[in-house]
Amino acid sequence: MNPYIETLNRNKATKAFIELENYASVHQVPIIQYESLMMLQMLIRTKRVKTILEIGTAIAYSALQMATLSEEITIDTLERDEKMVALATKNIQQFGKQTQIHLHFVDALEIELDELQPQYDLIFIDAAKAQYQKFFERFVPLLAPGGIVVTDNILFHGCVEQSLSDGLNLSKNVQHLAKKIDQYNHFLNTLPEMETYYFDIGDGLAITMRK
């Protein structure tokens, strides 16, 4: 992010969130980049989003950032890693957000849909990159009319573009993931009833909405 813009945006950062960011950095937990978070928060405010489904909780950094925007916001967030669930539970309690954030210890591809809300204003996809299309197809029926799907990491640290050129310095595993993300990005572009906008911010963000 441009350092000047970052300084302006970072004025909003509170001590409690800076501590979470430091924890993530020290323990190498991937969390949303600040610039992408700003876009996500702006969408939530402008679209007056009240119900959110998040795929991929980690330490609940993004869920807490979304929940603090308004007490009217409720979030179902899905996480399959037991250690992350324990950390997220602790953080949600520390922020006093248990009534707003409902954490499900589950694989997102296995949860019964009737355990979730019938509709969400926003679906945030931020879990296993190779499964993005499966997440989208599984949860898009829960998208409210006028709702939006936000997908993070669509550039995968520049690896998607690299894999399309020679990709020689990428491991086989990273090349595979990068190809899956590229396929997903193009898949979003082919949906007849949806419009996707792609942004080169943070690690790349796709914003998809019904036409």
Ligand X SMILES: C[S@@+](CC[C@H](N)C(=O)[O-])C[C@H]1O[C@@H](n2cnc3c(N)ncnc32)[C@H](O)[C@@H]1O
Q: Which of 89, 126, 143, 148 binds ligand X (CB under 6 A)?
A: 126
31 vs 49, beta carbon nearer ligand X: 31
Does position 143 interact with ligand X (CB under 6 A)? The reply is no
Sole residue written with tokens 């009240």: 50
Q: Which stretch binds ligand X (CB under 6 A): 7-15, 103-111, 143-151, 194-202?
A: 103-111
User: Of residues 80, 100, 139, 178, which one binds ligand X by CB under 6 A?
Assistant: 80
31 binds ligand X (CB under 6 A): yes
Contact (Cβ atoms closer than 8 angstroms) between residue 65 and residue 37: yes
**Binds ligand X by CB under 6 A, chosen from 1, 109, 170, 209:** 109
Q: Which residues contact 88 (CB under 8 A, 6 or more apart)?
A: 57, 58, 59, 60, 63, 77, 79, 103
**How far is the CA of 164 from the CAs of 128, 132, 145, 159, 167, in angstroms?**
20, 19, 35, 9, 7
Residue 30 near ligand X by CB under 6 A: yes
β-strands 51-55, 194-199 pairing: unpaired
187 burial level (CB within 10 Å; 0-12, 13-18, 19+): middle
Interface with ligand X, residue 108, by CB under 6 A? yes
State in angstroms the smallest separation of the CB of 156 from ligand X: 11
Residue 198 bridge partners (DSSP): 206
Q: Which is nearer to ligand X, 24 or 144 (CB)?
A: 24
Residue for token pair 């954490």: 103
How far does Cα 123 stand from its chain's mean position? 8
Cβ at position 145, least distance to ligand X in Å: 25
Residue from 40, 49, 66, 78 that binds ligand X (CB under 6 A)? Answer: 78
Contact window for ligand X (CB under 6 A) among 54-62, 93-101, 187-195, 198-206 = 54-62
**Cβ atoms within 10 A of the Cβ of 82, count?**
9
Nearer to ligand X, 78 or 188 (CB): 78
Q: Residue 74: how many CB atoms within 10 A of its CB? A: 15
DSSP letter at 164?
A: H
- Contacts with ligand X by CB under 6 A: the residue count is 19
Decide: is 56 part of the binding site for ligand X (CB under 6 A): yes
- Which residues are at the interface with ligand X (CB under 6 A)? 30-32, 56, 58, 61-62, 78-81, 84, 107-109, 126-128, 131
